[in-house]
């Protein structure tokens, strides 16, 4: 197999690997039901994806993990505000206030 043919084969396989799982939900619809264990596990997928995006940004500063940094303190303040009150704006305000305040105090 030539280089060009193997490259096209790889492209086609990658396209199938990304399209088929997504299309299966549309094509199969309600005819096939996921097991209840998998349905319960999928409820946590959005939170896990968000955590996978946010946590490295909160803990890593300049390519190094820093446990004590303004972003972590701001995240803790935002989570605390979200747990204490049901106001959708308060976590944003609390997190930004802590972040900007600590950056000002630390000179960064």
Q: What is the pLDDT of residue 61?
A: 83
Shared domain check, 23 and 74: no
Contacts of 106 (CB under 8 A, 6+ apart): 70
Is residue 67 domain-resident?
A: yes
Is residue 38 domain-resident?
A: no
Q: What is the pLDDT of residue 75?
A: 93
Q: What is the pLDDT of residue 27?
A: 80
Shared domain check, 69 and 24: no
- Helix boundaries (H) for 1-108: 3-28, 36-42, 45-59, 70-84, 90-106
Q: What is the pLDDT of residue 108?
A: 63
Distance CA 79, CA 83 (A): 6
pLDDT digit string (tens) for the chain, length 108 residues: 788 889 999 999 999 999 988 888 788 777 778 788 988 988 999 999 999 998 898 888 888 888 888 999 999 999 999 999 989 899 999 999 999 999 999 886
Shared domain check, 89 and 58: yes
């Amino acid at each position: 197999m030539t280089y060009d043919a193997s490259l096209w084969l790889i492209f086609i396989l990658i396209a199938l690997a990304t399209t088929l799982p997504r299309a299966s939900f549309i094509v199969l619809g309600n005819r096939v039901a996921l097991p209840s264990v998998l349905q319960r596990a999928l409820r946590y997928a959005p939170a896990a994806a968000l955590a996978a995006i946010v946590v490295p940004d909160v803990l890593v500063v300049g390519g190094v993990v820093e446990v004590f940094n303004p972003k972590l303190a701001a995240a803790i303040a935002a989570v605390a505000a979200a747990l204490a009150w049901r106001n959708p704006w308060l976590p944003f305000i609390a997190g930004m206030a802590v972040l900007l305040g600590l950056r000002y105090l630390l000179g960064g």
